Structure formats: C-alpha cells, structure tokens
C-alpha cells in the first residue's frame, strides 16, 4: 500500500525507481531476464522447460536469488526493532555495490546474482506488523489497483478509491527508461547510478528512523 508520510512516501517511490533502473539493466545484459520481475522469469522458466536443463538454470537461479533475498530481508526486518529499514538498505547497498563492481569487471553473472538478491531484500523495507510486505519492485498489483480506481471513479464510488499507486508505477517506468538510456552510453553507468541512489535512500531511511526513535 502506498505510504502517506512524506519521508516514507519518498522512500517508497525511490525504491520503485531503483528497481526499474536495475531491472532494465539486467534485462539488457541477460537477454530478456529480470532481477526484480519474477513473474517474467517464471514465464521464461516455463518456456525454457522443454529445451533442457541448461535453458532453465538462469531463470531458476534468478528466482532463487530473489527468494533468498526476501527471506534474508524478512529475517532482518523481524529481528531489528529499531533500525529495520536502515539495515535492509545497508544490505542492499552492499549487494548492489558488489553487482556494480562485477559488471564493471565484465561479469554478467556477478551482476545478476547480487542484484537479484538485493531486489528481494528491499521488498521488506515496508514489512508490516502482520508479517506481510508492501512490494516496491513489481507493479502488477499497483496496476490492478489503478484499474479498480478507474472503475470506482466511473461508478462514483469514492469510498473504494485507493490513491497513490499511479506514482509508484510511473517511478518504476522512469527508472527503466533511465537505465535503458544510460546503457546506450556505457553499461556500467546504470549500476553505478543505482549504488548512488541506494546510498541516498539509506540516508533517508536512517534519518526517518532516527526521528521516529527519538520521538518514541
């Protein structure tokens, strides 16, 4: 669900943009595979299933990396009561930095593995008390909400409108456009920009949690 507090809203939008940037980079260097869009990788896994074991290793591996990141991120979020978002974004920063270095050194797989793991981790940044998490790296649910909002407006059912999903989708789209554009110049630029963006989001998360801890 979209956040309403300005600092958390900025963090959520920034993470969506970061996911779009990294996903576009992964898609371009891995010939159609993703580091955050696991529905796409699952479809690719099914399409490749009849082509032999060699054809399923990459999509299956990316799904496994993402799942590992989600599990690790959930463990961090559940065990850290004071600085969960800060720790999660510090973890993703380390992983994306490793991915950027690997790509600069010419290792596609070295980029994909930590990037996929990082995208799993950040989906726990908005982990709620009921142990469910608001996804920030995939937008199918957001598009469903946008479509439902169109119907609610048409039927004049304002009580059913859930605002805020459009900007999330647009940030993911903008990140993907930026990642694609940067890739036309040098493939290593996008991952480097992602490192900087993650660092800024880490600072934002730290300031938000520091403010909340001082008030609590």
Q: What is the rounded CA–CA span in Å between residue 45 and residue 40?
A: 9
What architecture (CATH level 2) is domain 6-215?
Up-down Bundle (1.20)
Cα distances from 178 to residues 5, 37, 166, 173, in angstroms, run 26, 17, 18, 9
Q: What is the pLDDT along the chain (216 residues), one digit of tens a residue?
A: 666 688 899 999 999 999 999 999 999 999 899 999 999 999 999 999 999 888 999 999 999 999 999 999 999 999 988 899 999 999 999 999 999 999 999 999 999 999 999 999 999 998 865 444 567 888 888 888 889 989 988 888 888 888 788 999 999 999 999 999 999 999 999 999 999 999 999 999 999 999 877 775
pTM for the predicted model, two decimal places:
0.91
- Domain residue spans in the chain? 6-215
- What is the rounded distance in angstroms from the CA atom of residue 172 to the CA atom of residue 160? 24
The whole-angstrom separation of Cα 39 and Cα 199 is 28
HEC readout, 64-110: HHHHHHHHHHHHHHHHCCCCHHHHHHHHHHHHHHHHHHHHHCCCHHH
């Amino acid at each position: 669900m979209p956040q309403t507090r300005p600092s958390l809203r900025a963090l959520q939008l920034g993470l969506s943009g970061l996911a779009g940037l990294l996903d576009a980079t992964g898609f371009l260097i891995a010939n159609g595979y993703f580091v955050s869009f696991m529905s796409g990788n699952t479809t690719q896994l099914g399409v490749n299933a009849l082509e032999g074991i060699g054809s399923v290793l990459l999509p299956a591996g990316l799904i496994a990396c993402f799942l590992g990141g989600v599990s690790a991120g959930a463990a961090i979020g559940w065990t850290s009561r004071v600085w969960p978002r800060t720790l999660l974004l510090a973890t993703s920063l380390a992983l994306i930095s490793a991915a950027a270095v690997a790509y600069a050194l010419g290792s596609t797989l070295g980029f994909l593995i930590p990037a996929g793991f990082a995208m799993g981790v950040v989906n726990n940044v908005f982990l709620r008390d009921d142990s469910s998490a608001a996804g920030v790296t995939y937008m199918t649910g957001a598009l469903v909400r946008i479509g439902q909002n169109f119907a609610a407006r048409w039927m004049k059912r304002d009580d059913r409108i859930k605002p805020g999903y459009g900007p999330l989708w647009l940030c993911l789209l903008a990140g993907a456009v930026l990642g694609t554009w940067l890739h036309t110049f040098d493939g290593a630029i996008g991952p480097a920009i992602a490192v900087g963006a993650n660092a800024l989001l880490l600072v934002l998360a730290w300031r938000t949690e520091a403010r909340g801890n001082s008030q609590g």
